[in-house]
Copies of this chain bind each other. A is one copy, B any other.
Amino acid sequence: MRVELVAIGTELLLGDIVNGNAAWLGARLAEAGIDVTHAVVVGDNIDRIGEVFKVALARADAVVVTGGIGPTQDDLTREAVAQVAGVSLVRDAGLEAELRRRFTELRRDVPEMNYRQADLPAGASAIPNTKGTAPGVRAEVRGGVIYALPGVPHEMQVMFDDTVLPDLLARAGQPAAIVNRVLKTAGMWESAVAAAVAPLVAELEAAGNPTIAFLASGGQTRVRITAKAGSSAAAEALVAPVEARVRAALGSAIYGVDDDTLDVVLTRLLRERGQTIGVAESLTGGLLGERLTAAAGASDVFRGAIVAYATDLKSALLGVPAALIAAEGAVSAACAVAMAQGARERLGATFGLALTGVAGPQEQEGQPVGTVHIGLATPAGVLSRSVRMPSDRPRIRMFSTVAAMNLLRLHLLGSAPEGSQA
């Protein structure tokens, strides 16, 4: 089974938009074991679109098209499909009624132009769009099949997963359902995650289903488990034991699944416990506070932050003893702990979490770029952790906030690293 991707829109050729749909579809089809050989972008020109469809149908079994199915005159995908199939467009009564229903919900009349979205090439069927008004088109043409979807990513993605992928898999004689589970880890490099899971990966390799992939970004590593089966339930049943083994291998390094983010998970743990956090920052300049307030509802658990960027402010605002800074330096585990204590007291929070370090580009106090100390003050005492990040300024700052949030998360779960007790 070979698939060709076609994206339609002059705005893509002009570079106003990057063709992210092709990357998303390519990744999705690769997971499903379906080959994509070409991805083409063509402008809003009916003859060129038709030519591209003909070339694609000659070299692939199926063509997945994005864009050009809106209501305006430069949306030409429906017309081009009809032209290549040698049929005319026919207004579909069911789609027309559905359009009227949708616009009535919005308390608006259907603009005359929008009725074009109820047209289908003769013999084609509609692909339901649950997120927007433009239905997709599925047409058997020249011994192959064309699926035409909207260019709007969140509409296209749902329609692809719900209708196009199952149809493609059935045509390929493959199991009809694919389930993905993404386990998100913090505090381990990708190589360490891969090493911990290596025996399982080796074991799964022979059967080839489920598969495991590792994806690293933003100082975190994701483990993706993908299973194919005849139904979603059967695919889920294949994922479950593999997920259990990955969880056993990685333990508390896994902070969440799928769309979870570390800040939301940490905020949820604190909210469940009725606890709060106050932050002291230096090299991150406010990034840790920014992360903890990115999601709505942060005010339940986030008290505030003191960014003591200048060294003298670490004493003035956080009460770090000047003698401590003179003896240990502002970039030290002892200073991080004192900052965390200051944040806890002065911000009136259950926990104080502090970061001090060297973001670069120059070393500081003789310490190399990437040296970062995290301090945590709890009702029961303090702990610290020191890390070394081999990277550039933006990433050192981002990885530092991940490491800090992860330290508090592990503490809340009762699994903060033993050796770091200060």
Interface residues of chain A, those whose CB is within 8 Å of chain B, are 12-20, 22-28, 30, 36-43, 45, 48, 52, 55, 279, 281, 284-290, 292-294, 296, 298-299, 302-310, 312-313, 316-317, 346-348, 359-362, 393-394
Contact = CB atoms under 8 A, between A and B. Distances in A.
Contacts of A309: 289, 293, 298-299, 302-305
19 contacts: A14-B36, A15-B26, A18-B19, A18-B23, A19-B19, A19-B39, A38-B41, A40-B40, A279-B307, A281-B286, A286-B290, A286-B305, A296-B362, A296-B393, A303-B310, A306-B306, A306-B307, A310-B348, A316-B346
Contacts of A25: 15
Given A18-B20, A37-B48, A310 B304 contact: yes
Contacts of A288: 286
A274 to B, nearest CB: 15
Main secondary structure of the interface of A (DSSP, over half): mixed
Contact of A317 (B22, B41, B48, B306): B306
A317 B308 CA distance: 13
B16 A19 contact: no
Given A285-B292, A286-B286, A294-B285, A23 B19 contact: yes
A28 B17 CA distance: 13
Contacts of A48: 37-38
B38 A14 contact: no
Contacts of A299: 309-310
A275 to B, nearest CB: 14
A273 to B, nearest CB: 18
Residue among A22, A284, A308 with the highest chain B CB neighbour number at 10 A = A22
A360 B17 CA distance: 29
Contacts of A316: 346, 348
Number of this chain's copies in the assembly equals 2
B304 A304 contact: no
A312 B281 CA distance: 20
Given A285-B298, A305-B286, A27 B40 contact: no
A347 B22 CA distance: 50
A367 to B, nearest CB: 15
Given A286-B307, A313-B347, 20 more contacts: A13-B38, A13-B39, A15-B23, A16-B27, A18-B18, A19-B19, A37-B45, A39-B40, A40-B40, A281-B286, A287-B290, A289-B307, A290-B290, A303-B309, A304-B309, A305-B309, A306-B307, A310-B348, A312-B348, A313-B348
Contacts of A307: 279, 286, 289, 304-307
A287 B362 CA distance: 23
A339 to B, nearest CB: 12
